[in-house]
Structure 1
Amino acid sequence: MSRTTPPAHPAPGARHEPPGPVAVDDLLAGLPAPRQVSADQVASATAGGPCLVVLDDDPTGTQTVADIPVLTTWRVDDLRWALRQPANAFFVLTNTRSLSSVDAAARNREVAGALAEAAAAEGVSYVLASRSDSTLRGHYPLETDVLAEEEARHGRPVDGVVISPAYLQAGRLTVGSVHWMRTPAGMIPVASSEFAEDATFGYRNSDLRAWVAEKTAGRVPAAQVLAITLADLRTGGPEHVAELLGTLRGGRPAVVDAVDDTDLRVLALALVRAEAAGTRLVYRVGPSFVRARSGQAEQPPLTPERLRGIGDPERAGRHGLVAVGSHVGLTTRQLAGLRELGGIAEFELDVPTLLDPAARAGHIAELARAAAAAMADTDVVLRTSRTLVTGDDPDASLSIARAVSSALVAAVAATVRDTRPAWVVAKGGITSSDIATDSLGIRRAIARGTLLPGIVSLWEPVAGPFTGTPYVVFAGNVGDDDSLARVVTTLRSR
């Protein structure tokens, strides 16, 4: 049920939550008309400029782009490979949303240091985006703080942090600095969603200014956060927004409205102008920003014909594997839709058993053998049990999540070792990251596009034992109840 009243104990800088649900037309009524800015204009403005390097805290940030390199490691040689690719952007999968704050900070430092070395060796410049969840879960402000420190250490002190969590394709919009999400009942402020109750990254504010104050524990009061509104973007345009960005000093945050792709393209042009004038920025963003800043237009989902051109279908198996680690209610409903589609054999990893050291290994091995045998004749779903087990505090909950995820990774690795799949779908952010790196050994890939409009990314691995095997990154919090079934239907037609 949506929460439409303020929290009982407001966080520092908290504001009254707006009501919800509301119809999207009512939410957007009276706004200025979008400013017409094309993807080609952004591509032209960014051509030859700094490369956009996206540190993604789980793999799902690729779901709005096409033909963009993806790294799951940050070795200097891999980063140099990505910097040499024709695209003006690439992703580095850090998977920090699954880590403790201490480990997340260390990983950001590792990536930033290796990237500085790689860029110096290639003689190129770059700008940093910390890509995180469009429902505001993740290590903020930790990650942008660390990246700002690393930039300063390399002689590039950061003036501001641009926060743009919008994910337009999934209905995550920012209006008047308030972040909203689409639901079947209408638009609700994001703090009223199930995602705001996250055991590790929960929050109480939908107004991004108040959210910044909450997450920084009052270090940055809401009144000190720069708000870039739809009026600024649509009426003022890139020059005006660039002037606003140019006022940022000392790492001051700026939160940005977005309802339409053109809003983010205006922002992208403004960023180019501000940075060319000497303003140094780090971005904390959702998936839609990456497409806009990369100068890419929305592309239709991949067709079965296009899928047949990926990899070598003759080398692949006849059936695919769906691995499910996400526990959100939407994923559970999508699993039910896949069952209705049929043609699957389903195997469950029981979470309480996985947390029992004496029973864990045997349980994993038994299910992997059964799943591998079944995949010779049918598509297979390998999933964790649907009951979410949490700890007494956020770090304990993360530890449990990692233990469960590592068990799923081990089961998938054992399954595909015995029977090569025709394709792999990984459901859930942590799940997608761990299976890519630990089960399939993917180090370098190209995000080829999406299987549904604006969501669900398909990677083509370009190195490692599963080179060419279509790998589908499916976030736990996107799509509708039949989306998983639709994705599997498309993959079966390959």
Structure 2
Amino acid sequence: MCTGKRLAAEAFEKIPAVDVSVVDELLKKELTILNKKIIVLDDDPTGVQTVHGISVYTDWSLDSIEMGFLEENSMFFLLTNSRGFTAAETETAHQEIAANVLMVSRKLNRDFIIISRGDSTLRGHYPLETKVLKETIQSSSVRSFDGEILLPFFKEGGRFTIDNTHYVQYDQFLVPAGETEFAKDRTFGYTHSHLGEWVEEKTNGEFPAEKTTYISLESIRALDLETSTNQLLKVNDFNKVVVNAVDYVDVKIFTIALIRALHAGKNFMFRSAAALTKVLGGVSDKELLTREELMKEESNNGGLIIVGSHVQKTTEQLEELKKSDAIEFIEFNVHLVLQPEKFHAEVDRIVETCEQMIRSGKNVAVYTRRERLDLGEGKKEEELKLSVQISDAVTSIVQRLEVRPSYIIAKGGITSSDIGTKGLNVKRATVAGQIKPGIPVWTTGNESKFPGIAYVVFPGNVGTKTTLREVAEILS
């Protein structure tokens, strides 16, 4: 039984309303004078789940970063996929990214903001990623960072921060994040739901909860921009700022105060979920995508669904998907990774079956065996390496396909990243929008294996029980 869960309706009704039109006008004014390129480092490809018409580059080469800087859009994404990296790989990647961003920024004489887009359920290489970015940039430039903004709110996924505690919504209840399955993640687990205490836990006491600045819903909903701005102006020594939010309007109000603090000379690093990127990037709302928008070319071939994520929500969604008559199913026994010859034979079987089914007009779903591969205590790094082998095998299914599916859905962050970058060989994609709330669709570039295909990047932990089936039915 969860001890800290609350009824969502009761929690929300206590929060006063605010005039959104007034907020929108104030925000519009501030965004026009921001004049900084916003670079979002996405630790898996689901971070584009709130935007549209935005570019995603799948490497962090100088060429890709320069192309991003030269775009008319104020914002672009670099897909790092670091949630699937070891700590050492993550550190190296973020040193390279920071150095390359600085180099391009100097060449083009354009200032920038870096947002480290992390998981709304608090998993990922934190504080490592933002610490490395800060240290690399500070050691190679005159820029210094006063603090770090933490904003894990993500409405589409039911993640809310109230009274400094981060919640995940399950039906009508808000459950503290530290009491959910996400907090038990074998690689990125944690125990605290109060974000100040979570920071203290994650930084091993380097940044204690009492030194954290908290932007409250009370001051946000009172439109007390002066208080919030002054709080930000007082932040120093890279101390943390926790932003409470239950709706996009809260992020908008905070962003107004943030831009005012930036104009006053403050500098921040950002660790946020996907809501801040939409607001700071000035991305408009857009209706959910229709089949007609996504399926530009009608095809007699079937579609391909690949399910890799192992979170409970994904497994529930897979069980619901299995009720569909329009899809054939193949289980991939990934535990054979411990027996290389059998593992290769298993991959061959899946590729051949997929090829036949797609060519004959059948939609096919490949899903990895649901039981986790558990090597026992103290084997985190070994498990991570095996998971990379499994992910490579899943990716090879798309790499080896000779027939073009009518669409591709990839379920799970690491799965969708590897299929996008290695399977489809995407260098730059455009985010078409969302097919369901929080579920983005890429339109692949001309350089990719299947140019212009609708590629659905379906996060493991988003949607209701029926959402995966609904998405498949829209496309099928």
Q: TM-score range by the shorter chain?
A: over 0.9
2:315 aligned to which of 318, 323, 332: 332
Q: Secondary structure at the match of 1:340?
A: coil
The count of aligned residue pairs is: 469
Corresponding residue number in structure 2 for 1:289: 276
Contact 2:334–2:343 under 8 Å retained in 1 = no
In 2, distance between residues paired with 1:100 and 1:172? Answer: 26
In 2, distance between residues paired with 1:450 and 1:246? Answer: 36
**Deviation readout 1:182-222 (Å, 9 max, x if unpaired):** 10251111111111110111111100010001101111111
Corresponding residue number in structure 1 for 2:256: 269
- Say which is worse superposed, 85-94 or 36-45, in terms of deviation: 36-45
Q: Secondary structure at the match of 1:298?
A: coil
Change (3 A) 1:40 1:347: farther
Q: Residue type matched to 2:237 in 1?
A: G
Mark the runs of 5 or more structure 1 residues left unpaired by the alignment.
5-18
In 2, distance between residues paired with 1:137 and 1:317? Answer: 40
Corresponding residue number in structure 2 for 1:461: 444
In 1, distance between residues paired with 2:18 and 2:381? Answer: 43
Corresponding residue number in structure 1 for 2:32: 47
Q: Residue type matched to 2:261 in 1?
A: A
Contact 1:180–1:206 under 8 Å retained in 2 = yes
- Say which is worse superposed, 398-407 or 92-101, in terms of deviation: 398-407
In 2, distance between residues paired with 1:142 and 1:72? Answer: 21
**Deviation readout 1:274-308 (Å, 9 max, x if unpaired):** 11111010110011111111122432211223224
Structure-1-length-normalised TM-score: 0.91
Deviation at 1:369, TM superposition (A): 1.1
Corresponding residue number in structure 2 for 1:471: 455
Deviation at 1:421, TM superposition (A): 1.0
**Deviation readout 1:115-149 (Å, 9 max, x if unpaired):** 22222233322101000110010111111111111
Q: Secondary structure at the match of 1:359?
A: helix
Percentage identity across paired residues of the two chains: 32
Q: Residue type matched to 1:120 in 2?
A: R
Change (3 A) 1:485 1:408: same
Q: Residue type matched to 1:332 in 2?
A: T
For 1:238-257, list aligned pairs within 5 A: 238-257=225-244
Mark the runs of 5 or more structure 2 residues left unpaired by the alignment.
none
Deviation at 1:40, TM superposition (A): 6.2
1:57 aligned to which of 39, 43, 47: 43
Q: Residue type matched to 1:221 in 2?
A: P
Deviation at 1:228, TM superposition (A): 0.9
**Deviation readout 1:355-414 (Å, 9 max, x if unpaired):** 322322222122111111111120111221111113433323322321221111112211
Q: Secondary structure at the match of 1:64?
A: coil
CA RMSD of aligned residues (A): 1.7
In 2, distance between residues paired with 1:396 and 1:143? Answer: 22
Corresponding residue number in structure 2 for 1:15: none
Corresponding residue number in structure 1 for 2:147: 160
Contact 2:99–2:137 under 8 Å retained in 1 = no
In 2, distance between residues paired with 1:257 and 1:54? Answer: 21
Deviation at 1:72, TM superposition (A): 0.6
For 1:409-448, list aligned pairs within 5 A: 409-414=395-400, 416=401, 418-448=402-432
In 1, distance between residues paired with 2:462 and 2:10? Answer: 23
In 1, distance between residues paired with 2:135 and 2:260? Answer: 23
Q: Residue type matched to 1:226 in 2?
A: T
In 2, distance between residues paired with 1:40 and 1:387? Answer: 51
Q: Residue type matched to 1:122 in 2?
A: L
